[in-house]
Structure 1
């Protein structure tokens, strides 16, 4: 039997979980391409070198990479993290494998170009403006006719640098802070996206695409909290029944967005707002959702974004079977912990509080004694994420409220 070689580009965060899942559940050989000499700090701890038969460190020399690629009969190429999206397109095209087209790669990484792609496709989209550090800030701000707005780096992730600005003074101050700064994905912010603030209910839609055909894998009702002087921080995500009639317009719009961005292969993570005028895109990532638990999601709905991507790469017949026979067995909620202040943890009370809730399932991440807490202003300052799972959705809501009450009372951690 021919061995199947799968190549992951930047298998960090959920990409690392995908690599481990493939290693444990599929008869495949796994290769890895590291898209930069140094792994970005936000990803470094998640990388598991031992999972890969070979790891190629890309220095920008494609001829070197080509020689390495020729040593293996690679059948699939996929990005494991945001930093690997564009190189994954190039490698797939070079090997003449299924992938997303190179000519439109940049619009799948650059948030301004995403909006422009929707405009060209005639799809509803948020009003936006691209600010440039080289041009006069006052002149650019004067072009904005509607407030508030959201300002963010063009190509970062995890709410990095995202702020809500209510007037020109706030925007000028925030832009001055962001311009020239190296963002979490290692790029210098020489341009910024200014987008109208969308109001309504936010949703996450995770998908898988095969030869241009799209499938919804998960929909999450995504609640966030506005933080003064920053943006919106993660609060809770409630897993929805994808066949719910109320999601019909959202699902249809998602497919239109994927087509406009020329996403034809692999996983995508879509964030959108359901406004009074209908769905509007916030942003798309042509990769797995970060920070997810395969175990919790698959327990509730049969498979996760991770395992479905693994089926695409390693067992297409099983993928098609699942997509036509899937079933839901429990209600599921992801809860992000929120810290109101800075401090070092001197004692943790998580075991005696959260872990004893009726619906508690597991932590994806949780700080321990000696760790430093920071006031939560984005994903990177979120102390931890946990999953609640139960047959009764009211139990999830009750336990979620209890967690927030304990946070307010300082009962989860003692800090100094």
Structure 2
């Protein structure tokens, strides 16, 4: 029996294992030491035939060499580097270019590779000291984006419009360990001003099939926290994005597996924000199957099934109805003492599901990233008006989330 290895199979990748088992694969989970704690709560050990954790690379490799490994997949960003190394050793025919692994994980190296290949990319510099930064800023204009070179879910990302804000954002990042509990390397980029999109793809043998295109809405200043995103597979802009993202993936040596990319359309032209070599996180993939006939997880399974080869599609699958994912946020800090009245939104016509991070007894800060948001809500309906009305009702209901907090109690530990 052939084996599939999933490295850090958390977040959306928890849905992979059951489908892979159905098509006949033996499943092994490998946990990298750098896995953020908040991911681990989503781990489903019962989905695997074997789970390996707390071992060195050579020990993991020796154990996996006992199996007929068909493919290695990264479940989260934190597992990407290890997945690349394991695939190169165990199943080179299903591996990605190992020499470009760092460029797929570090945003700075990613943009260096793109610029060398002549693809559109924003100007950037690694922060060393403020004197060098001020020299780099000459003849450039605000706004800028400050972010860790390696992060996830928008953690540490700030948009700044003047030098005091820039200094503050850098100081905050430098003094805060990354989501992977590492000392950060801080990147400063000229901000892309336009419309943001998400492009979810699956690749096999360097064929990149686009599965979903999402139009993204964020807070445009300070912390660019996600408001909501709308599935726009039928939008004409998807054709531009499909062509562009294929060039980006080729440039980064991506040949096999799912990718989640963020692109800004600036004056009608695409420019990369980042590529994440994994599934789109914080998703309920089965909600999309009735809408587009597949989803990011199912298409990944298809790419590994010999009887379902990928096609170089010119456009993503046509969607049959409207779909939105919206984020709910904490606006205060405190201890969660109760649950909100979910029934008020669960009865809405377009409501399809939720991912809640409201856990009684935990301490939270006001939301500043996906991982610190209160919940993700999924809506779909043939009528855009119904979704719009339900969206407004949920935004009004969102204010009740802060009533679930005791803001007077000082936290012993805040979820980051």
Query: Helix, strand or coil: the match of 1:47?
Result: coil
Instruction: Show the 5 A alignment for 1:10-29.
Output: 10-23=8-21, 25-29=22-26
Cα distance in 1 for partners of 2:275, 2:119 equals 15
1:232 matches 2:224: yes
1:185 matches 2:183: no
Structure 2 residue ranges without an equivalent (≥5) = 407-416
Tell me which moved more, 339-348 or 38-47: 339-348
Please name the residue that 1:199 is paired with: 193
1:210 is aligned, of 204, 211, 228, to 204
Cα distance in 1 for partners of 2:134, 2:236 equals 41
Query: Helix, strand or coil: the match of 1:170?
Result: helix
Query: Helix, strand or coil: the match of 2:166?
Result: helix
Please name the residue that 2:412 is paired with: none
Cα distance in 2 for partners of 1:279, 1:368 equals 39
Q: Write out per-residue CA displacement over residues 154-185 of structure 1, whole angstroms, 9 at most, x where no aligned residue.
A: 01111111111222222222212222532112
Cα distance in 1 for partners of 2:270, 2:36 equals 33
Tell me which moved more, 367-376 or 5-14: 367-376
Equivalenced residues, count: 402
Cα distance in 1 for partners of 2:54, 2:46 equals 18
CA contact (8 A) 2:357 2:373 kept: no
Please name the residue that 1:164 is paired with: 159
Cα distance in 2 for partners of 1:415, 1:156 equals 28
Are the structure 2 counterparts of residues 367 and 181 from structure 1 closer, same or farther at C-alpha, using a change threshold of 3 Å? closer
Please name the residue that 2:307 is paired with: 317
- Measured after TM superposition, the shift of residue 186 of structure 1 is 2.8
Query: Helix, strand or coil: the match of 2:325?
Result: strand
Cα distance in 2 for partners of 1:414, 1:41 equals 23
- Measured after TM superposition, the shift of residue 117 of structure 1 is 1.1
Instruction: Show the 5 A alignment for 1:7-86.
Output: 7-23=5-21, 25-36=22-33, 39-57=35-53, 59-62=55-58, 64-86=59-81
Cα distance in 2 for partners of 1:197, 1:17 equals 34
Cα distance in 1 for partners of 2:389, 2:226 equals 18
Please name the residue that 1:355 is paired with: 346
Tell me which moved more, 146-155 or 362-371: 362-371
Structure 1 residue ranges without an equivalent (≥5) = none
Cα distance in 2 for partners of 1:77, 1:50 equals 19
Cα distance in 2 for partners of 1:322, 1:406 equals 43
CA contact (8 A) 1:350 1:413 kept: no
Are the structure 2 counterparts of residues 272 and 327 from structure 1 closer, same or farther at C-alpha, using a change threshold of 3 Å? closer
CA contact (8 A) 1:157 1:185 kept: no
Cα distance in 2 for partners of 1:202, 1:108 equals 20
1:308 matches 2:304: no
